[in-house]
Chain A
Amino acid sequence: GENVEQHPSTLSVQEGDSAVIKCTYSDSASNYFPWYKQELGKRPQLIIDIRSNVGEKKDQRIAVTLNKTAKHFSLHITETQPEDSAVYFCAAPAGGNQFYFGTGTSLTVIP
């Protein structure tokens, strides 16, 4: 079955700096990797995703990269702003209709 590991568990950056969160997965058949953002006391919301047929996807200040050979994918946030402070979760398919989620990264952007 799938095993998803996420690092780091906490991350503090100065406003304007970049933040990188990395996830590794174990199932080489996995083909879709979403990232969710969860603000304090709120529900998780999808912010970006990537399929295994591409190596990178960008959406304004957010990008995700995928290395299928090494079985890891990363979330990159550039020019961080205080409103980026949240917990970020990666996920990977666990066969059929299930997803396994990483344990989350708590990002704090210091003004």
Chain B
Amino acid sequence: DTAVSQTPKYLVTQMGNDKSIKCEQNLGHDTMYWYKQDSKKFLKIMFSYNNKELIINETVPNRFSPKSPDKAHLNLHINSLELGDSAVYFCASSPRGPNEKLFFGSGTQLSVL
């Protein structure tokens, strides 16, 4: 199926650990994003990559490091996890063009204990 897929769907971990979330899209899109959705359901942009190049870095702590090995993949690595990092993280992609609608992955629910 053509889609944006991210893994894992659920991630439960202890404070201080390091974890990664993977994202892949087979839609042929040039641009990929990470969004964070907090407990109040506010969807906030974190990063955007266009063809492996970082375009947007939205004042996110250095503990968050995105990596794009190729334009179909955008992974998110988080160091030294904190309680406040608990949220749902959505990967998304979009094509270039005037109607750049976002296609979202199914989300990763991160719980930091």
| B partners with A | no
**Chain B: residues with CB nearer than 8 A to chain A?**
none
